């Protein structure tokens, strides 16, 4: 059985897709999609030997070698031109995901959909998408085993325009997630805010330098953005 986190990613891979799962580790996601015949072909990309070998082993054990190609390489370099129409990247930091997309821009020409699950800093991904003409089409936030995960789905071009005049807050918290404000969302951001308040408290008792002043200002700004969405009682 797939984790809820990866099942949420799987849900947004179009039926019959040819997709590349970058940083696939055990290739659980490609195996699940192909075993259930929800996709027609997958590449499992891995840059590290250990996970690459686990992916190879898993695909062979599941008898899926003819429909899943396990490849070793950095980011999108494992994809040949036109091979896939969807890319999934899950379980890494948002800035690493954005860097992988940015380094592999020329591999994105045939790609219509990105399904991204950052462990932290979804913000970096929303910024990258906006600056590179990808439109965020939906988002989901879920809690599993006391951890909270965000899944971002993007399609090429202008498409949906999810941002309102509260764009700064929406880039940080997510435009769709900010509207829905489900339990996982409220939990995540009240915890983040409490954490930032603790840090500000500590900074206030330390000797003020330019650096601590800048940090304090950044955190106060982020707290204000969270309050804009959750309200002052959060
Ligand atoms: N995607 C799986 C998941 O969500 O369960 C595995 C996540 S695992 C925490 C992250 C994987 O990404 C590691 O196996 C790591 O080797 C791989 N990785 C990190 N940077 C990468 C890159 N630039 N290209 C390919 N794989 C990468």
Residues 125-136: pLDDT tens digits?
A: 999 999 999 999
Residue 183 to residue 151: CA distance in whole angstroms: 15
Q: CA dist 16 to 7, 10, 85, 172, 178, Å?
A: 16, 12, 10, 33, 31
Residue 17: name the closest of 108, 77, 69, 87 by CA.
87
According to the model, what pLDDT value does residue 224 have?
Answer: 97
Residue closest via CA to ligand 1's atom 11 equals 23
234 pLDDT above the threshold of 70:
no
Please state, rounded to an integer, the average pLDDT across all residues of the chain: 96
Taking phi over 0 as left and psi of -120 to 50 as alpha, with beta for the rest, 144 belongs to: beta
Q: CA dist 231 to 12, 164, 170, 226, Å?
A: 31, 17, 14, 8
- SS3 of 5, please? helix
Ligand 1 site, residue 90, Cβ cutoff 6 A: yes
Residue closest via CA to ligand 1's atom 9 equals 91
CB atoms within 10 A of CB 132: 14
Residue closest via CA to ligand 1's atom 3 equals 91
Question: From ligand 1's centre to the CA of 206, what distance in Å?
Answer: 38
233 pLDDT above the threshold of 70:
no
58 pLDDT above the threshold of 70:
yes
Ligand 1 site, residue 74, Cβ cutoff 6 A: yes
Residue 74 to residue 52: CA distance in whole angstroms: 11
Question: From ligand 1's centre to the CA of 17, what distance in Å?
Answer: 21
Mean of the pLDDT values across residues 10-27? 98
pTM: 0.96
């Amino acid at each position: 059985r797939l984790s809820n986190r990866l099942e949420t990613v799987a849900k947004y891979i179009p039926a019959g897709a040819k997709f590349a799962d970058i940083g696939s580790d055990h290739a659980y996601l490609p195996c699940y999609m192909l075993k259930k015949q929800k996709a027609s072909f997958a590449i499992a990309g891995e840059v590290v030997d250990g996970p690459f070998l686990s992916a190879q082993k898993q695909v062979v054990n599941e008898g899926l070698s003819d429909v899943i190609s396990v490849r070793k390489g950095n980011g999108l370099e494992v994809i040949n031109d036109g091979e896939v129409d969807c890319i999934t990247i899950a379980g890494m930091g948002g800035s690493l995901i954005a860097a992988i997309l940015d380094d592999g821009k020329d591999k994105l020409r045939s790609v219509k959909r990105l399904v991204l699950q950052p462990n932290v800093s979804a913000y970096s991904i929303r910024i990258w998408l906006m600056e590179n003409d990808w439109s965020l089409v939906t988002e989901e936030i879920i809690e599993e085993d006391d951890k909270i995960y965000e899944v971002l789905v993007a399609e090429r071009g202008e498409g949906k325009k999810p941002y309102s005049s509260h764009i700064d807050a929406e880039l940080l918290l997510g435009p769709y997630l900010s509207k829905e404000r489900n339990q996982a969302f409220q939990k995540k951001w009240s915890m983040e805010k409490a954490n930032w308040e603790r840090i500000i408290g500590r900074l206030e008792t330390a000797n003020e330098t330019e650096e601590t002043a800048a940090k304090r200002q950044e955190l106060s700004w982020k707290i204000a953005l969270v309050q804009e969405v959750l309200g002052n009682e959060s």
